[in-house]
Each structure stands twice: as structure tokens, then as C-alpha cells.
């Protein structure tokens, strides 16, 4: 009891007690969301680049590229982020650009780094949009992902997934007022329910995770189907894309070439391993190693891609 309280506070808080800190500083200390840093890659198209990291408590699962597009009357979000915190940061970034209503939130696919920010937009009364197959994906995986994310971010830090109500079976359009977004529901590729968005004004394609740039692609759908979807997108004449991970805007052709090269090596070499009787655990460390120095986080995800490809191809 000899210890003066003030000096203990000083030791803990660098001379400031929490009650004296300005509200903003206090909020920052508690990790309150700040406006996400975004780039306007084309007039009215803003992209928040995801961190090239795995999801952690420190990065709030802000690892995917998130976008918003501003029309004359309204705003559409394409992927609201990996956590409520991430979604709130994006929302603040939108409000720093425009006060127009946020009308649509598009969920490109089921993965947690793209969908768990949706809860941050519920108060805006937005329409959540997704692939017709997405609700089933969210039903079977949502709780599993939520419990995993809670283990990272802490109990109570993750809200339940938001299930889209406007569903796209083949194609659809969203009108933001003088600006129309074309939606395409893809056949199984990166996942079994991928949705992409084309801004008709600029021709820019927002791919969701149909396209990874620099960061190792993750296979969770259909490897052959993914290659087929890439060919279809190429045939549509797209020139620039906002990938699900990587730089905010890339030329389509070069990015697709790199991803196609990886996926083709994964397909061909996994098939060859199965034909030669190479066991799955050995294939995981030998297939497509020529790609190793070409991708970020290769060691974290590539082996799993091989397992995923192998266990499907052995039944083809």
C-alpha cells in the first residue's frame, strides 16, 4: 500500500491515465476501427488492399481486397471484409468519400475474409447479394468459420454470417443510378459458388477470389472448373481486374496467365502423381514446386491445395 497509485498508472499508461485520454485516443487504444486506406483505381471505384498475411487478432482478418463503387444515387460494396471490425473500417472509408446511401453489399463467396464484415452494414438497410448457391454454403460452413474466427479474435468479436437475400442464378444487374454493375454467377471454380461483378462503365471486373495476384491461390471448389471459368472470363474480353487478393487493379491477361500456370501445374502434376502411385502426403511436398518462389504464402497454402486436388482427382 506504500506504492503511490499515480506512479503505478504512470508505469502502466506512460504517464496518462485512461480516463484523461481524449475519446479518440481511447478508442484507438481499444482498437476501434479507423477508416480503411483505399485507392480510387478508376473514377468511383475504391479498393482497400488486403494484407498479405494470414488472419490474426492483430489484423482483424483484413486480408482480402474490399471494394466499393459509387454511382449517382447509391453505393455498392463488393466484399464487406473479414470481421465486423474490418467491415466497420470499410464503412468509415466509404463515409469519408460519399454520404450516398449504401444500397448493396455483394458477397463474392463463402470464405470468412470476404463475408464476416457484412454485419457492419446491417444498420444501413442494405440488400445483401450473392450467388444462388451461397446460402447453402454459408449454412454448412458459417458456424464453423465463426468459431474459428472467434478463436483468433476473441469470444463475442464475431457476429453470425449474413445470408444474402438477392440471389444470382446466372446473371443480374445492380443499378447505382447512371452506373450499372453486371453480376455473374460462376460454375464451381475457386469455390462452388463464386460471384463476380463487372462495372459496365469502366469495364473493370471485380473477381472476388476467382483471381489471386502474387498471393498463392487457394483451391476450395473445382480445379478443372476454375481453369474453365478463367477461359470464359478471358473470352468475355475483360482487360482490367480487381483481384480478391493482390494489387488493387491489374491487367487481366498477365494476372490470369500466372494463375493459370499455377493451377495447370497443380492439375497436371497431381494427376501424374496419382498415376504413378505417389502417396498423397508425398505429393503434397513434391507437386508443382516450380511455383514455390513465384507466390507469397506458398508454404502456408500450397500443400493443402495439393491435398484438395489429389483427393478429388483420384476419383475422376
Partner 1 sequence: MTSRMTSGAKRWIVAGLMAVAFASHAVAEDETAEREARWKDVASNIFGERPMEDGSSMLKLIVPERAMDAALVPVTVELNGDHHIVAVSVVVDNNPSPLAGTFRFGPAFAQNTLKMRVRVNEYTLMHAVAETDDGKLYAVARYVKAAGGCSAPSASMSNDILARLGKMQLRRERSLDPNSIPAQLMISHPNYSGMQQNAAGDYTPARYLEHVSVSVGGTKAFDLDTGISLSEDPAISFTYLAKGDGDIDVKAKDSSDAVFSQHFNALK
Interface with partner 1 (CB under 8 A): 53-58, 110-113, 136-137, 139-144, 147-148, 151-152, 192, 218, 220, 277, 279-281, 284, 297, 300-301, 303-304, 307-308, 311-312, 314-315
Q: Which residue matches cell numbers 500443400?
A: 303
C-alpha cell, 102:
449504401
From 249, 262, 253, select the one nearest 217 (Cα to Cα).
262
Q: How far is the CB of 266 from partner 1 (least distance, A)?
A: 14
Distance CA 121, CA 212 (A): 26
- The SS3 of residue 183 is strand
Q: Decide whether 265 or 297 has the Cβ nearer to partner 1.
A: 297
The DSSP-derived string for 152-178 is HH-TTS-PPPPPPSEEESSEEEEE-SS
Q: How far is the CB of 86 from partner 1 (least distance, A)?
A: 13
C-alpha cell, 245:
487478393
Query: Is the Cα torsion angle 141, 129, 223, 241 positive or negative in sign?
Result: negative
Under 8 Å CB-to-CB from 147, ≥6 apart: which residues? none
Q: Decide whether 113 or 199 has the Cβ nearer to partner 1.
A: 113
Q: How far is the CB of 138 from partner 1 (least distance, A)?
A: 8
Q: Decide whether 103 or 141 has the Cβ nearer to partner 1.
A: 141
Distance CA 210, CA 123 (A): 29
Q: How far is the CB of 111 from partner 1 (least distance, A)?
A: 6
Asked if residues 77 and 66 have their Cβ atoms less than 8 Å apart, the reply is yes
Q: How far is the CB of 262 from partner 1 (least distance, A)?
A: 16
Q: How far is the CB of 190 from partner 1 (least distance, A)?
A: 10
From 135, 162, 161, select the one nearest 146 (Cα to Cα).
161
End-to-end CA distance of the chain: 74
Q: Decide whether 110 or 197 has the Cβ nearer to partner 1.
A: 110
Q: Decide whether 136 or 172 has the Cβ nearer to partner 1.
A: 136
Q: Decide whether 150 or 257 has the Cβ nearer to partner 1.
A: 150
C-alpha cell, 101:
446511401
Q: Decide whether 236 or 289 has the Cβ nearer to partner 1.
A: 289
Between the alpha carbon of residue 131 and those of residues 80, 90, 255, the distances in Å are 15, 22, 24
Q: How far is the CB of 301 from partner 1 (least distance, A)?
A: 6
Amino acid at each position: 500500500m506504500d506504492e503511490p497509485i499515480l506512479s503505478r498508472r504512470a508505469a502502466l499508461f506512460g504517464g496518462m491515465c485512461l480516463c484523461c485520454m481524449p475519446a479518440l485516443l481511447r478508442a484507438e487504444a481499444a482498437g476501434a476501427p479507423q477508416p480503411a486506406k483505399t485507392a480510387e483505381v478508376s473514377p468511383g471505384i475504391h479498393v482497400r488492399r488486403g494484407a498479405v498475411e494470414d488472419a490474426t487478432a492483430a489484423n482483424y482478418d483484413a486480408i482480402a481486397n474490399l471494394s466499393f463503387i459509387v454511382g449517382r444515387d447509391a453505393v455498392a460494396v463488393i466484399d464487406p471484409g473479414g470481421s465486423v471490425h474490418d467491415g466497420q473500417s470499410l464503412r468509415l472509408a466509404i463515409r469519408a468519400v460519399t454520404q450516398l446511401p449504401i444500397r448493396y453489399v455483394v458477397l463474392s463467396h463463402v470464405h470468412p475474409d470476404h463475408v464476416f464484415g457484412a454485419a457492419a452494414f446491417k444498420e444501413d438497410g442494405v440488400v445483401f447479394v450473392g450467388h444462388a448457391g451461397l446460402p447453402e454454403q454459408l449454412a454448412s460452413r458459417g458456424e464453423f468459420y465463426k468459431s474459428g474466427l472467434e478463436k483468433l479474435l476473441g469470444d463475442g468479436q464475431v457476429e453470425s454470417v449474413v445470408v444474402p437475400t438477392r440471389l444470382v442464378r446466372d446473371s443480374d444487374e445492380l443499378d447505382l443510378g447512371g452506373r450499372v454493375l453486371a453480376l455473374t454467377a460462376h460454375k464451381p471454380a475457386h469455390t462452388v459458388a463464386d460471384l463476380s461483378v463487372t462495372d459496365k462503365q469502366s469495364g473493370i471486373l471485380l473477381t472476388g477470389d476467382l483471381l489471386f495476384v502474387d498471393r498463392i491461390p487457394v483451391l476450395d471448389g473445382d480445379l478443372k472448373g476454375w481453369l474453365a471459368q478463367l477461359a470464359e472470363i478471358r473470352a468475355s474480353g475483360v482487360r482490367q481486374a480487381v483481384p480478391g487478393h493482390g494489387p488493387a487493379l491489374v491487367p487481366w491477361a498477365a494476372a490470369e496467365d500466372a494463375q493459370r500456370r499455377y493451377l495447370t501445374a497443380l492439375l497436371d502434376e497431381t494427376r501424374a502423381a496419382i498415376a504413378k502411385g505417389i502417396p498423397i502426403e508425398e505429393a503434397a511436398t513434391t507437386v508443382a514446386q516450380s511455383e514455390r518462389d513465384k507466390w507469397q504464402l506458398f508454404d502456408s497454402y500450397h500443400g493443402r491445395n495439393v491435398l484438395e486436388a489429389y483427393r478429388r482427382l483420384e476419383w475422376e
